[in-house]
Amino acid sequence: MGELGAFIILALVTLLPAAAVVTSRNLVRAAMSLVPSFLGVAGLFVLLQAEFVAGIQILIYAGAIAVLILFVIMLTAGGTGTAVRQANEQRVVGGLAAAALTAALLALLLRTAWPLAAGSLPRANVAAVGSAFLTTFVLAFEISSVVLLVSLVGALVIARRER
Amino acid sequence: MLLDWLYVAVFAVVGVVMAGLPLALVWALAPRAEYPQKHLTYESGVVPFGQAWAQFNIRYYLFALVFVLFEVEVIYLFPWAVVFRDFITQRLGGFVLAEAALFIVILGMGLLYAWRKGALEWV
Amino acid sequence: MSWLWEIFKATLAAVAVFTFLALVGAMLGVYLERKISGWIQSRLGPKHVGPQGILQTVADTVKLLQKENIVPTNADAITFNVAPLMAAVAGLLAWIIIPFGPIFGRVVIVRDINIGLLFFIAMASLIVIAILLGGWSSNNKYALLGGFRSASQMISYEIPLALAVLVPVMMAGTLSTVGIVEAQRGGWLGIGNWFIFGLPGNRWLLIPGALAFLVFFTAATAEVNRVPFDLPEAESELVAGYFSEYTGMRFALFQLGEYAEAFAMAALTTVLFLGGWHGPLLPGVVWFFTKMFALVFVLMWVRWTYPRLRLDQLLHLSWKGLVPLGFVLVLVTGWLLI
Amino acid sequence: MTVGVNHYLAVSALLFGLGLYGILTRRNAVAILMGIELMLNATNINLVAFNRYVAPGALAGHVFALVIITLAACEAAVGLALVMAVYRNLETVHVDEINVLKW
């Protein structure tokens, strides 16, 4: 019973701020409500026994990406967004399209019989993730550093005016 | 494991309540003398002018950008650090260290690039 | 219903830790700071309220309770109130993983999360958001710029903090704080196995261990915005940094968050590098608190001995000094461990 | 009743729909990026849920989710660099005003 209660609370903590992000008129408040949504998702990861991924979610999403988004909003005077109309004119059509896709997704996901397997994840999943990274997923480990390098160089070239 | 994070959730909720307690006390106790001048923002005495939003300058963003990309590197180094000693006992220490060294060197080149291109300069 | 009992125990622990932080962290911290800075400048510091001025901070708090909470014109009231709460709660949450030492054979710790250190750094990164929102919501140019500068400083010092934490994690092979302290047990006079002195197996680890201690303590000082890194709220700089619009109790909440984080950083440095509760004769908890308050004393002592760094020197030190040094330390530790 | 895989799939589908709504109906480029972050979170929930319920043996789902978090950070960094460049040149971040093919 406890886990279901926790799940419902965390699902609400994820979905309600996410709704606020997409509908709020004030842009900084939208970015601010992004943080509880990320923390709610981190809570869901904890319920799924993915402790390391939950820690990384809090650290990277709520701690770094949200800060970057807040920085850019404040730097591009988005903060004054309150006066400017935020939603474009295709609001109704967009809403319908999103609702249709969500309904299709729900129908697809909830109706198929997933091959559930018993068993639970290794307890110390930091060590398990570490050994997975270093043995079976070595390529992902190394490619990620190349992706980080490329995106760092690319973002710096785009953002800075060539002097 | 779930219990640890139950403590974290309860700590957050109780923290917000306990931090809100003095605010509620102040709301109850503190006097209210409303006059418009009091609400003007403090510009060291000068009458505030214009909107508060910062004029456009790129260097704040550059530091946030470099921060995000180097923070992401922590994802890979933390599990490596935790599992490093187990690999040493399996005589695989050199191989694993080489992997992490390659990872760090590639990212070090990113830092070097940002350094040479002056992205880390404040001016 | 076992989990109802667990929630009750958790609330008790939360109330206990919060009052400990509010009393020891904020009140005692402010009192110590004023007394020590007085002593360093060969003056007396607070003396009148209570014996030796011990009740000075209590008087300050009561005074703060009567200060009116002013929200500046067309500021974003919700964010204005949420930011200090967030800073205080993040400071509180950082204390969950700090082990105080064994009493009757059981280690006193709120919860030993097995990704402890990652959780601590994640909480430290949440404070940056509180500062940015506080600065933005005050609708004051100087507060906003102060928020930017302070946030830039804190995010720049999070990378060396994370890299310096890697060294003890590699030596101990676990992220949980109790595990790290257990790995520093024993050794000559109970001190020999501290990570600052390297592992018993090979003493060469002394070099990366001690250097990582320095990098961690410097980054911790910068994370907590203390001199020589307290540029954002420096008197000579912007009006009062990100909390120039905050009056009364909300300002005190920001201070509580800051002092709680300062004490947590000092406690974590003892856990990571100075062997937590290990020490020759005295019981564990006494050792832990002496080391923690020694580091808090160093934090306050540094305040009156080092000039304040300009923002570009400060960022220069982090990105061009501590981050490359952090990388080198991780690699050298790895190489020495093989 | 216990929490099954369908619960998590429902939450991630809803989050995905909210993110899509955000992308389709927002004028500000940064708000669109926020919608993308929500959709990426939805996929992460799916990955970790499947890893827990369908294949608890290996940690493939966790590793995949971590790589997605890395790519989300890179995408946010480059996307916001584009927004800054557009703001510097065209003084606007509203996507429907950025219709000039030449800079």
pLDDT band with cut points at 50, 70 and 90 for residue C338:
confident
What would the mean pLDDT of C12-25 be, rounded to a whole number? 87
Closest residue of chain C to B53, computed from CA coordinates: C141
C-alpha to C-alpha distance for B95 and B83, rounded to whole angstroms: 13
**CA of A3 vs chain C CAs: smallest distance (Å):** 10
pLDDT band with cut points at 50, 70 and 90 for residue A44:
very high
Helices (H), C224-283: 248-273
The length of chain C is 338
CA-nearest of C308, C121, C143 to C238 is: C143
C-alpha to C-alpha distance for C136 and C248, rounded to whole angstroms: 19
**CA of D74 vs chain B CAs: smallest distance (Å):** 7
**CA of A61 vs chain B CAs: smallest distance (Å):** 10
Residues of A in contact with D89 (CB under 8 A): none
Is B44 in CB contact (< 8 Å) with chain C?
yes
What would the mean pLDDT of A47-68 be, rounded to a whole number? 92
Determine the pLDDT at residue B47: 56
CA-nearest of D35, C176, C152 to A30 is: D35
Longest dimension (CA), chain C: 63
Residue B79, preceding bond cis, omega within 30 degrees? no
Asked if the Cβ–Cβ distance from D69 to B58 is below 8 Å, we say no
Q: What is the CATH topology of the domain spanning A1-80?
A: Four Helix Bundle (Hemerythrin (Met), subunit A) (1.20.120)
Q: Which of B79, B86, B107 sits opposite A149 (nearest CB)?
A: B107
C-alpha to C-alpha distance for A55 and A72, rounded to whole angstroms: 25
Which of A130-139, C63-72, C169-178, C179-188 has the lowest average pLDDT? C63-72
Residue to test with chain C: of B17, B37, B41, B56, most C Cβ within 10 A: B41
Average pLDDT, chain C: 84
Determine the pLDDT at residue A2: 77
Q: Name all contacts of C207-210 with Cβ < 8 Å and 24+ positions apart.
A: C207/C332, C208/C167, C208/C329, C208/C332, C208/C333, C208/C336, C209/C167, C209/C168, C209/C171, C209/C273, C209/C333
Is D47 in CB contact (< 8 Å) with chain A?
no
Q: Is B40 helix (H, G, I), strand (E, B) or coil?
A: coil
Residue to test with chain D: of A126, A136, A151, A157, most D Cβ within 10 A: A151
Which of A86-90, B25-29, C251-255, D14-18 has the lowest average pLDDT? A86-90
Closest residue of chain B to C335, computed from CA coordinates: B97
Determine the pLDDT at residue A81: 46
Residues of A in contact with B6 (CB under 8 A): 6
Predicted TM-score (pTM) of the model is 0.91
Q: Which of D15, D55, D71 sits opposite A15 (nearest CB)?
A: D15
| pLDDT digits 0-9 by tens, A106-152 | 999 888 888 888 777 777 788 888 888 888 899 999 999 999 999 99
CB distance C138 to C86 below 8 Å = no
Closest residue of chain B to D91, computed from CA coordinates: B56
Residues of A in contact with D34 (CB under 8 A): 21-22, 30-31, 34, 69
What would the mean pLDDT of A151-163 be, rounded to a whole number? 83
- Kindly tell me if the per-residue pLDDT of A62 is higher than 70: yes
H or E element at residue C199: none
pLDDT higher at D20 or A86: D20
Which of A33-42, B33-42, C86-95 has the lowest average pLDDT? B33-42
Residue to test with chain B: of A39, A141, A157, A162, most B Cβ within 10 A: A141
Asked if the Cβ–Cβ distance from D76 to B71 is below 8 Å, we say no
| pLDDT digits 0-9 by tens, B45-96 | 555 555 544 455 778 888 899 999 999 987 799 999 999 988 888 888 888 9
CB distance D4 to A7 below 8 Å = no
Q: Give the bridge partners for B46, in sequence order.
A: B43
pLDDT higher at C206 or C53: C206
pLDDT band with cut points at 50, 70 and 90 for residue C214:
very high
Q: Do chains C and D touch (3 or more CB pairs under 8 A)?
A: no
Q: What is the ipTM of this complex?
A: 0.90
pLDDT band with cut points at 50, 70 and 90 for residue C295:
very high
CA-nearest of C276, C131, C304, C156 to C218 is: C156
Which of A80-94, A112-126, C241-255 has the lowest average pLDDT? A80-94
Determine the pLDDT at residue B54: 46
Determine the pLDDT at residue C48: 79
Give residues with Cβ within 8 angstroms of D92, minimum separation 6.
D86, D98
| pLDDT digits 0-9 by tens, C66-114 | 777 777 776 777 888 888 888 889 988 999 999 888 888 788 888 888 8
**CA of B68 vs chain D CAs: smallest distance (Å):** 7
Asked if the Cβ–Cβ distance from C129 to A62 is below 8 Å, we say yes
Tell me the C-alpha to C-alpha distance, in Å, between residue B82 and each of B46, B77, C173, C205, C236.
55, 9, 5, 17, 44
User: Above pLDDT 90, what percent of chain C?
Assistant: 19
Determine the pLDDT at residue B94: 87
Asked if the Cβ–Cβ distance from B71 to A46 is below 8 Å, we say no
Q: A–B: how many Cβ contacts below 8 A?
A: 136
Q: Which of A26, A59, A67 sits opposite C151 (nearest CB)?
A: A67
Residue to test with chain A: of B16, B55, B76, B84, most A Cβ within 10 A: B76
**CA of D80 vs chain B CAs: smallest distance (Å):** 9
Q: Which of D22, D65, D66 sits opposite A21 (nearest CB)?
A: D22
Determine the pLDDT at residue C240: 64
Average pLDDT, chain A: 87
C-alpha to C-alpha distance for A21 and A37, rounded to whole angstroms: 9
Report domain D5-90's class: mainly alpha
Q: Which chains touch A (3 or more CB pairs under 8 A)?
A: B, C, D
Q: Which of A52, A59, A79 sits opposite C125 (nearest CB)?
A: A59
Neighbours of B109 (CB within 10 A): 14
Closest residue of chain B to A79, computed from CA coordinates: B53
Q: Which of B56, B58, B68 sits opposite D77 (nearest CB)?
A: B68
Is A50 in CB contact (< 8 Å) with chain C?
no
Q: Do chains C and B touch (3 or more CB pairs under 8 A)?
A: yes
Determine the pLDDT at residue C65: 75
- Kindly tell me if the per-residue pLDDT of A14 is higher than 90: yes
Residues of A in contact with B78 (CB under 8 A): 52, 126, 130
Helices (H), D1-103: 5-25, 29-53, 60-90
What would the mean pLDDT of A74-93 be, rounded to a whole number? 68
- Kindly tell me if the per-residue pLDDT of D10 is higher than 90: yes
Q: Give the bridge partners for C103, in sequence order.
A: C106
Neighbours of A140 (CB within 10 A): 17
Asked if the Cβ–Cβ distance from B67 to C15 is below 8 Å, we say no
The residue ranges of every structural domain in chain C are 1-66, 71-337
Most confident of C16-20, C298-302, D7-11: D7-11
What is residue C238's DSSP assignment? S
Which of A44-58, B52-66, C155-169, C280-294 has the lowest average pLDDT? B52-66
What would the mean pLDDT of C145-170 be, rounded to a whole number? 89
| pLDDT digits 0-9 by tens, D46-87 | 999 999 888 887 888 999 999 999 999 999 999 999 988 888
pLDDT higher at C73 or A10: A10
- Kindly tell me if the per-residue pLDDT of C262 is higher than 80: yes
C-alpha to C-alpha distance for C56 and C27, rounded to whole angstroms: 9
Determine the pLDDT at residue D103: 57
pLDDT higher at C29 or A100: A100
Q: Do chains B and D touch (3 or more CB pairs under 8 A)?
A: yes
Determine the pLDDT at residue C266: 92
| pLDDT digits 0-9 by tens, C30-46 | 888 888 888 888 887 77
CA-nearest of C68, C64, C253 to B27 is: C68
Average pLDDT, chain B: 81
Residues of C in contact with A74 (CB under 8 A): 132, 136, 144, 148
pLDDT band with cut points at 50, 70 and 90 for residue A159:
confident
Q: Give the bridge partners for D26, in sequence order.
A: A87
Residues of D in contact with A84 (CB under 8 A): 27, 94
D→B interface, C-beta within 8 Å: 66, 69-70, 73-74, 76-77, 80-81, 84, 87-88
